[in-house]
């Protein structure tokens, strides 16, 4: 009787508890970080403080902050973050968090919609030569390593690019590659160029420049300003054009393309000038491209061949017609 009563109680209580259980949903993560990229020029034995704001745009959770080394992986400004945290002794900098209650690699709580400021102190060590250090502040969800379930660890990073220089004089050594326009180009199609600048120094540079198109008469037809992209030390960057006025909200970069007039004819010179932000010319390279209305010529050639074929066919018909006897 007792056992039956117990079973009855369980049968009644369990569905009741299940009905009142809070709904369980897969936890999501959404983080934002600002500023996303920081460039710093630092003197030896000087210290700066940089604050980063992390905002949790999803559910409450635990997060960790770490510094990781980054390496450029292509010529369009992407980097890959090292999977292991940065070894502080590997950099000429003294890096620490100034927050009283936060340290690197220690989980901290961030409620839904809340922000947390991470205050990073960066001090430069003594050096006689300019040295660059590139790393990222990575904030990711805290995940215990002993979990038996497969899980994901989303993280967001802010890039910190630092040049440590004793006197502010930075070496400049750039080489230009892939500036090879075709010898002959159809004037009906845009001429797309993808020259690449290689920074041969170990410090980052932000060169400016312009692409000029010079007519056979020596007139400058077009002058396209180049987008002042940053080139990290010992890396490459594809040159792009700048659309919009410098400093304007609508400033954008676009592929380096020139659309000639369809009936442009002759040898045109493409002059690529690379200069420093101060305006000093670093290099000036010229290439010549012959512009011909190839599509128009092809059209007329096909037309001519068609007329010739019709003419020959008629002539053949005439010659093969039987002569009256």
Partner 1 sequence: MHRLFLFFLILYLFFSPVTLIFAETMESDSYRLRFGNFNMTSGTKTSASYNLTDTVGQTAAGLFTSLGYSVKAGFQYLYTLYDFSFSLSSLAIDFGPLTPDFFQTAFHTLTVSAPGQGYSVSALASSRLKNFATSDFIPATTCNSGTCTATTAGIWDDTSDYGFGYNLVGDDISGDFVDDTYFRPFADASLGDSPAVIMSTTAAGQNRSATITYQLNPSASQAAGNYSALITYIATPTY
| C-alpha triplet 145, 148, 150: angle, nearest 5° | 85
Place of tokens 């792009």: 240
Q: Indicate the residue among 250 and 319 with the shorter CB distance to partner 1.
A: 250
DSSP per-residue letters across 42-71: E-TT-EEEEEEEEEE-SS-EEEEEEEEEEE
Instruction: Provide the minimum distance between the beta carbon of 31 and partner 1 in the complex, in angstroms, as a whole number.
Output: 6
Query: Binding to partner 1 by residue 161, rule CB under 8 A?
Result: yes
Query: Binding to partner 1 by residue 77, rule CB under 8 A?
Result: yes
Query: Binding to partner 1 by residue 158, rule CB under 8 A?
Result: yes
Question: What does DSSP say about strands 281-292 and 184-186: parallel, antiparallel, or unpaired?
Answer: parallel
Binding mask 250-279 for partner 1 (x = CB under 8 A): ---x--------------------------
Q: Indicate the residue among 246 and 266 with the shorter CB distance to partner 1.
A: 246
DSSP per-residue letters across 64-121: EEEEEEEEE-SSSS-EEEEEEEP-GGGSSEEEEE--TT--TTS-EEE-TT-EEEEEEE
Backbone Cα Rg of the chain: 33
**Contacting range for partner 1; rule: CB under 8 A; set: 2-10, 132-140, 182-190, 284-292:** 132-140
Query: Binding to partner 1 by residue 148, rule CB under 8 A?
Result: yes
Do residues 58 and 111 touch, judged by C-beta distance below 8 A? no
Binding mask 194-233 for partner 1 (x = CB under 8 A): -----------------------------------xx-x-
Residue 172: helix, strand or coil by DSSP? coil
> Which residues make up the interface to partner 1 (CB under 8 A)?
26-34, 36-37, 55, 57-58, 70, 73, 76-81, 83, 136, 138, 140-141, 143, 145, 147-159, 161, 229-230, 232, 247-249, 253
């Amino acid at each position: 009787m007792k056992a039956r009563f117990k079973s009855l109680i369980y049968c009644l209580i369990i569905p009741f508890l299940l009905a009142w259980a809070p709904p369980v949903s897969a936890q999501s993560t959404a983080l934002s970080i600002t500023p996303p990229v920081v460039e710093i020029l630092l003197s030896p034995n000087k210290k700066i403080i940089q604050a980063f704001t992390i905002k949790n745009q999803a559910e409450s959770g635990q997060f960790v902050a770490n510094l990781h080394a980054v390496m450029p992986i292509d010529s369009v400004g992407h980097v890959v973050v090292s999977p292991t945290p940065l070894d502080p002794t590997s950099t000429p900098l003294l890096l620490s968090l100034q927050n009283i209650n936060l340290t690197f690699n220690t989980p901290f709580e961030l409620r839904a919609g809340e922000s947390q400021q991470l205050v990073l102190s960066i001090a430069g060590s003594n050096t006689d030569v300019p040295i660059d250090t590139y790393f990222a502040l990575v904030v990711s969800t805290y995940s215990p390593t002993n979990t038996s379930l497969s899980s994901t660890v989303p993280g967001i990073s802010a890039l910190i690019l630092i040049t440590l220089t004793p006197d502010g004089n930075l070496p400049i050594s750039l080489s230009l590659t892939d500036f090879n326009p075709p010898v002959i180009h159809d004037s009906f199609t845009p001429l797309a160029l993808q020259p690449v600048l290689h920074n041969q120094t170990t410090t980052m540079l932000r060169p400016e420049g312009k692409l000029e198109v010079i007519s056979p008469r020596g007139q400058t037809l077009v002058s396209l300003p180049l987008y002042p992209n940053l080139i990290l030390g010992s890396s490459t960057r594809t040159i792009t054009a700048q659309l919009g006025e410098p400093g304007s909200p609508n400033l954008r970069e676009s592929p380096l393309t020139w659309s000639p007039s369809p009936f442009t004819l002759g040898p045109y010179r493409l002059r690529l000038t690379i200069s420093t932000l101060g305006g000093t010319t670093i290099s000036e390279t010229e290439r010549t491209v012959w512009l011909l209305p190839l599509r128009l010529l092809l059209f007329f050639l096909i037309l001519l061949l068609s007329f010739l074929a019709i003419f020959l066919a008629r002539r053949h018909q005439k010659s093969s017609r039987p002569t009256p006897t």
